[in-house]
Structures are given as C-alpha cells and as structure tokens.
Chain A
Amino acid sequence: MPMSVAMPPADPVVLAHAVSVRSDLPVPLLAVLVAGAAAVVVSFVALGALWRTSRLRGDEAGRVLPTSAQRLLDSRLLRGVLRAVVLVVTLFVLVVALLGPRESAFNLAPYAFYVTFWVGLVPASLLLGPVWRAVNPLRTLHAGLAYLSGPAPGAAVLPRLGLWPATAFLLAYAWVELVLPDRAVPRTLGVLLVAYIGVQLLAALWYGPQWFAAGDAFEAYSTLLGRLSPLGRRADGRWVLRNPLDGVDATPRVPGLAAFVTALVATTAFDGLGRTTYYQDNYVLNGDEIGVPTLGLALTVLLVGGLYAGAAALATRAARGDSADDSSGAALFAHSLVPIAAGYAVAHYFSLLFFEGQLTWILASNPFGVDGVDLFGTYRNTVDLTVLSPRTIAGVQVGAVIGGHVLAVVLAHDRAVRVAGLHRTARTAQYPLLALMVGLTLLALRLLLG
C-alpha cells in the first residue's frame, strides 16, 4: 500500500545512475561468484561435447505467425497511432522539462526520461523487438521535415559509418547520466534533449532516414536488445516466433558494432564501480566532480573495449585457420555480447523501474505543479517499496548477469564452430573469449552485489 503523506514526494534527485534500493543476498557473495564462474565454464565444456556443429540459423529461423497476427503487426493504422501517441508524449515531457516545476523532486521529466524511457526501453525491446525504431519521434519529425527539404546529400556515405555515430552519442548520453552533476535538473535536461533532437534531425536531413538506425543511440540500443526478442522478422519479411539466439545471430555485422556493445557493457560496469567502497573512498570528494569520473568512464570504456578486441582477435586467428571468412575478429563475435549488455541492464536498473518509475506516474498527476491540481488522485502518494522484495531483486540480478554470460558463450561457440568448421580448432579459438567471459562475470557480480 502506498503511504499517504501531507507533502508530495519529498526530494529525490533522479537516479538512473544509482540503484537506490540495494538487494539482500540470501547467500554469501563468494558462493554467487563461484556459481557464476562455474556456470560459464560448465556451459563451455558442455557445448564442446554436445553442440558440435552450428545450429543457429539467424534470420532464416522461426515459426511463421498466423496471417491475422502478421496483418496486425504490419498495420499502418496501428503504427501510425502509436507514432502519434509517442510524439505527443515526448513533446509533453519536453514542455514539462522546460516550463514545469524547477525542482527535479516535483518535475516528472527526469523520471520519465531516465527511468520510464531509458530503463523501460529494456523490457519493451526484449519482449517485442526494435520498438523504438517503430515509434521513434525523431523519425516522425524527420519525415515531416524531409518532405520539405528534399533528398539527403550524404546518404551514400552512411553505410560506411556503421554504428560508430550511435556509439559516440551513447557515450555522450552515458557521460550525462553518470557524470554530469546537473543531469536531473529539469531545465538542464530539457535543453540537452532539445539539443539532441536538433543535432539528430540535422544529421538525418544530411544522411537520410537511415541515420536513426546508425546514429540515434536510443534507437540503436532498442534495436540491438530487440535482437533477443522471441518476436522477429525473417529474411523473407514474415513475422515469426523464434529462438532469441537466432535473432542475435542475425545481427548485421556493421562497422562499430563491437564498439557499441562494449560501450554499453562498460558504461553499466562503470556505474557499478562508482558505488564501490574503493572508488568512493579514493575518488569522490576530492574537489573534482567532473574530471575524475570522466576519466574513469573513459578508461573503463577503453579497457572493456580493448580486452574484448584482444580476445576476439586471438579467437579469430585461431578459429579462422584457412577459412575464407574475412571479417575482423571484433566483428565476428560482437553479437555474443548483446545478451551480456541486456543482462547487465536488467540487473542494474530493473528495480529502478519498479521504484523510482512510480514517480513518473505520481508526478503526472500534477505535471506543472499547480496548487490544488491532482488529476489522478495520486499526487500525494510516495514510492511503494514493497512491490519487490530485496531477495527478488538479488535473484533477478544474479540470474540476469549469469544468464547473459551463458548465452554469450553459446552464441560465441556456435559462431566459432561455423567459422572454423574443425571442432578442435573451434574450441581452442574460444579460450581467450572464455577467459574474458569468466572475468567479466566475476567483475559484474562483484560490482553489483559487493
């Protein structure tokens, strides 16, 4: 039951960066670490014995949905309505950020953006696929502008950029979310969002509508996590239910894919690192609020990216042998990091959606902070902390991290046996990646639960 108090929600600065409710582990941390590492290693050994040839079929796989479901999913009316709704909600949140209450405690915009949108994008994409691509308000706005401005001059260059533009914008977003002290101040957030929208629209006018898949960090994020959705579109264009691993296996090997996924993994890891006693005692409160965390974030991104690139290069050299596959190592296995990024996102942020996420709806009852307004009768509610028990949180966190890593091992294994052909070579090829996986599993669990 939400408690009723005399005041609207007192205080909080928004915390997409910090899980404010921490879990209770029902078992010692050491046991979880051992179990996590063991799960990854055992999966690897079992795959070697049982999964001797490639089984994944990528976008050829899946069970075709009935015609009625195909029609519904492709319905222009449904898509049009959803796009219109999302556009209106986006503009509304923007107006509230710029003109609503000045304090983040009373303004719904920071909660709507950092929690409902950014965190909510994870379950929405994992269940339904690339949802943000379907409703992206930037695409809607661009469609209107492009109608006036004519053809895009830079469209031919875009494929060569791959996911590098989205990686740059993702890192910029991560800096705002994890470093910028004023990230939750409504006016600051409003200005940042207007700037982001402006830059994205200009880029799309230059590069064409395909820009959003390559350069809008939020669409790229949703599309990548959406690869794990059981709902997908087959190569022949039909909607299918499929093994999520087939969806991930079909991830296009575009330039910058590895950079984008490792940046996702690294930024989440840095968020966890920032809460550790070690980091807190040594790097916070030493008079520098921006330089130190900026450097820490950059080093974490470079370290995770570098370790992955190194492991993947070794793996590919061993796997390829005289195979004709000419992909660089990093691109070959980058898709296997998708479930890890998804697992970290779930582990790190899901409780936030259930707790801080309530504030979006509470504050929506009086978005402009006008005395006496209480549209839904919820304005005086406070966050109900009993919706999730500490043990549920711990269970989901451990499951998401370990599950993500196990799926990654499966994906990398299947790719390695397909490329190598020879079984023994394929196994040797994976040792560097396996070592990285075990290391990342231990680190992630330690950061999350320690």
Chain B
Amino acid sequence: MQRLSLTVSGSSVTGDTGTVPVQLGRPVELTVTSDVADEVHVHGVDIGRDVPAGGTVVIEFTQTAPGRFEVELENRKRVLTRLQVS
C-alpha cells in the first residue's frame, strides 16, 4: 500500500504535490485535507469523493492502466497532484 497525502490550505497545496510515481496495480491510500468544500477526483480510476470544508477524505484505489493521471478538486479545477502510473 502506497500512502499519499495532500493538504489544501488557502490557495496553496502541500504534501505529495507535483508528479508522483505510482506502481501499476499497487493499491494507493490517498488522504486529502481541505479548508474548502469540493470534490476530490482521481482520474484514471475515475473516483470522486466529496470533502467538506475543514474536513478530510480518504480514498483507496488501484490504477489499472499506465499513464499520467491528475488528482484534482473537481469543481474548482485545482490540480492537486499528478500520478505517474507505470
């Protein structure tokens, strides 16, 4: 299990930002803490989970296709990180 975490605070994003290598087929546990309410969307596996303002959401997924996939705050179109799956 690969653990990733991201924190959205004000206009900045901290944690595993940028481009993160992820192994194809290996489970990932992603924790996102956000001070704004939005929907965290993991592209590729195409999973979306709401996160409340000031709350945390944990998403578990396994990427099953190679490529570079974004994790973003869907409604605000804020790219939080990119998963380089190979």
Contacts and interface: CB of A to CB of B under 8 A. Distances in A.
B46 A13 contact: no
Name B's interface SS. Answer: strand
Contact of A385 (B8, B44, B73, B76): B44
Nearest to B50: A11
Name A's interface SS. Answer: loop
Contacts of B46: 9-12, 20, 382-383
A24 interface: yes
A61 B85 CA distance: 49
A53 to B, nearest CB: 47
Given A10-B46, A22-B82, A289 B67 contact: no
A11 B64 contact: no
B64 A21 contact: no
Interface in B36-76: 36, 39, 41, 43-44, 46-49, 64-70, 72-76
Residue picked from A284, A285, A385, A393, most chain B C-beta under 10 Å: A285
B75 A181 contact: yes
Given A10-B47, A10-B48, A385 B67 contact: yes
Residue picked from B39, B49, B72, B82, most chain A C-beta under 10 Å: B72
A2 to B, nearest CB: 11
Contacts of B44: 20-21, 385
Interface residues of B, number: 32
Contact of A285 (B8, B39, B43): B8
B4 interface: no
B67 A21 contact: yes
Given A181-B75, A285-B76, A390 B69 contact: no
Contacts of A289: 75-76
A280 interface: yes
A23 B68 contact: yes
Contacts of A21: 43-44, 67-69
Q: How large is the interface on A (under 10, 10 to 19, 20 to 34, 35 or more residues)?
A: 20 to 34
Contact of B65 (A274, A275, A281, A386): A386
Contacts of B12: 281, 285
Nearest to A9: B46
A289 to B, nearest CB: 6
A415 to B, nearest CB: 39
A286 B8 CA distance: 11
A181 B36 CA distance: 15
A274 B66 contact: no
Nearest to B67: A390
B77 A18 contact: yes
B41 A390 contact: no
7 contacts: A22-B68, A281-B12, A284-B77, A285-B11, A285-B13, A285-B76, A389-B66
Given A12-B41, A275-B79, 13 more contacts: A10-B46, A11-B39, A11-B49, A12-B74, A13-B41, A22-B67, A22-B68, A24-B66, A181-B75, A285-B8, A289-B75, A289-B76, A389-B66
